[in-house]
Amino acid sequence: MMHALAMKFTPTQIPDVILIKPEVYSDARGFFYESYSRQMFSQHHIPIEFVQDNHSCSLRGVLRGLHFQIEPKAQAKLVRVSKGKIFDVAVDIRRNSPTFGRYVSSILSAENKHLLYVPTGFAHGFCVLEDGTEVLYKTSEFYSPEHERGIIWNDPSLAIAWPKLEGDYFISDKDKKFPALKEIFHD
C-alpha cells in the first residue's frame, strides 16, 4: 500500500505565487507523483476549483504571453511541464497590490517536476528552453476570448530577464500586438 504523497508549497518573492515541489516516488520502473490534490491545496489556503486543462507543445525559443483574462472570467493557473523545460513568468497586475508591475520567474521542467500556482490578478507567460516541450496547466475559469487580454512580452517597465537564446524568439502575431502595462493600467 502506497502512503499519501506530500507537496511542498513555497511562496515566491510575490507570496501569492506559489512554487510547488511534489514528493516523487521513484523505483526501477519509473516514477509517480501527485501533480494536483484538492485536499493539499485547501490545506495550504488555496481553495481553487480548476475547470479546464490545457496542453501545449512548442519548439525551443517559442515565447507565449503575457496572457490574462479580466473579471468576471479571470483565471488562476497551475502550470507544469511534462516534457522539456520552460522559463515561466507571472506578473502582478493587481492595481492595489504593493507588488503591482513586478514579476517572478521559475524554471519548470520534466526533470524537476515543479509546478507554479499563478493566482488571478497575474499575467502569465513562458519561454520554451527545449524542443518539443509540453506544458500542461489547469485554469480556474474557462477560456473566454472576449475577456482575454495581454501585455507585451518585452515591456521595458517590467524588465523581465528572459533567457538569452541564439536567434529570435518565436512569438505569435497576436502576442506581438499586446500593449505595455502602463497602456492598460493608466491613471
Clarify whether 137 is annotated catalytic: yes
Given the residues 3, 67, 103, 186, select the one marked as catalytic. Answer: 67
Clarify whether 143 is annotated catalytic: no
Given the residues 36, 137, 143, 186, select the one marked as catalytic. Answer: 137
Reference 153, options 88, 83, 76; nearest CA is 88
d(CA 104, CA 72): 24
d(CA 113, CA 110): 5
Q: Is there a contact between 104 and 17 (Cβ–Cβ < 8 Å)? A: yes
d(CA 156, CA 151): 11
Catalytic residues: 67, 137
